[in-house]
Every structure is written in C-alpha cells, then in structure tokens.
Structure 1
Amino acid sequence: MSDEKLRLRKLIEHWIEHNDEHGARFEESARQAAEMGLEMVAESLKAAAEKAAGVSEHLRKALEAFE
C-alpha cells in the first residue's frame, strides 16, 4: 500500500474512533437531558447520536474498501 493510501486509511480509522466517542457522548448527554426534564433536548441529542452512528457506518465501509 502506498504511503498516501496508508495515511488515508489511518485517518479514516481515527475518524471512526473519534466519531464513536462523540456518539457515545451524545447518548450520555441525551440521558442527562431526559433526567432534567428537557425532552426536546434529549430527542435532538438522540437524533445526533443516531446520525453519528450512520457516519461511522459509512466510514467503516470506506475502510473495508481498502481490503
């Protein structure tokens, strides 16, 4: 694998990890918002977590395409 391809692969791996961390934080914050009675905030954070999971899925597909 060329250096450029390897660099891109490593970057995608980093993005997956980073995005998964954000998604988990969104879910945690959604639970906290719900506990505070902030249902609209909680719903929006849950939606953000779902979108983050979708982004990670696309990034994983991109990573698989290297194989």
Structure 2
Amino acid sequence: MRFGKKRVRYHHGHDHNSDHIHESNHSHGDSIESKDEKTLKILLVHWVNHNESHEEGFREWVDKARHMGKDETANNIEKAIEYLQKANEMLIEAKKHM
C-alpha cells in the first residue's frame, strides 16, 4: 500500500485534504470496489462533520438576523438548520448500511 495526500474538491467549492490509500495486489474489480467503498465511508463521516460546522455558522447568523429585526430571515435559517440535521440523520443511517 502507498499512502499519500490527495486534494479533493467538493460541491461547495473549497478543498479538503484527504488521506488516500492506493491498493495493490488485487484484481481490478476488487480494487475499485474496495477503494470506492472506503471513500464513501470516509465521505459520509466528512459530510456529517462538514454540515455540523455549517450549522454553527447558521446559528450565529440566526442571532444576528434577529438583532437586525429580520425575524423572517432568522426563521428561514432555523428551518435550514432543521433540514441540515435531517440530512445528517440520513447520512448516519446510510453509513450504518455500509
């Protein structure tokens, strides 16, 4: 096995460094499936953690919006937080089935 760093670009436009494992001595099909499965397990955890980091920022802006008198904006951000939490529940459930 060879270990290295791989820069991965996700949908939200910024980069993350990811440990990347190169498999050897496997048939081509096994190697790809194994690599993809490992990658998906890592991504599921990453996505939950990443969403949680966004949630912290959202909560901060709920407070700021309320302070500005933008209650409807704050309410919508709070609703987005609820959806983010639901998305995390689904990602955690997906990981259980890996």
Matched AA of 2:88: S
Q: Which runs of 5+ in 1 are unaligned?
A: none
User: How far is 1:26 from its partner?
Assistant: 1.2
Greater mean alpha carbon deviation, residues 24-33 or residues 51-60: 24-33
Q: Per chain length, whose mean CA-contact separation is higher, i.e. which structure has more relative contact order (CA < 8 Å, sep 6+)?
A: 1
Residue aligned with 1:37, SS:
coil
User: How far is 1:10 from its partner?
Assistant: 0.5
What is aligned with 2:49? 17
Deviations 1:24-59 (A, max 9, x none): 211221111112211011001101111111111101
Residue from 80, 84, 91 that aligns with 1:48 = 80
Kindly name which structure, 1 or 2, has the bigger radius of gyration based on alpha carbons: 2
Residue from 39, 59, 73 that aligns with 1:27 = 59
Kindly indicate which of the two structures has a greater share of residues assigned to strand.
2
User: How far is 1:63 from its partner?
Assistant: 1.0
* Structure 1 residue ranges (4+ consecutive) displaced by more than 2 angstroms after TM superposition: none
Kindly indicate which of the two structures has a greater share of residues assigned to helix.
1
TM-score, scaled to structure 2: 0.62
Q: Which runs of 5+ in 2 are unaligned?
A: 1-32
TM-score, scaled to structure 1: 0.87
Identity within the alignment, %: 29
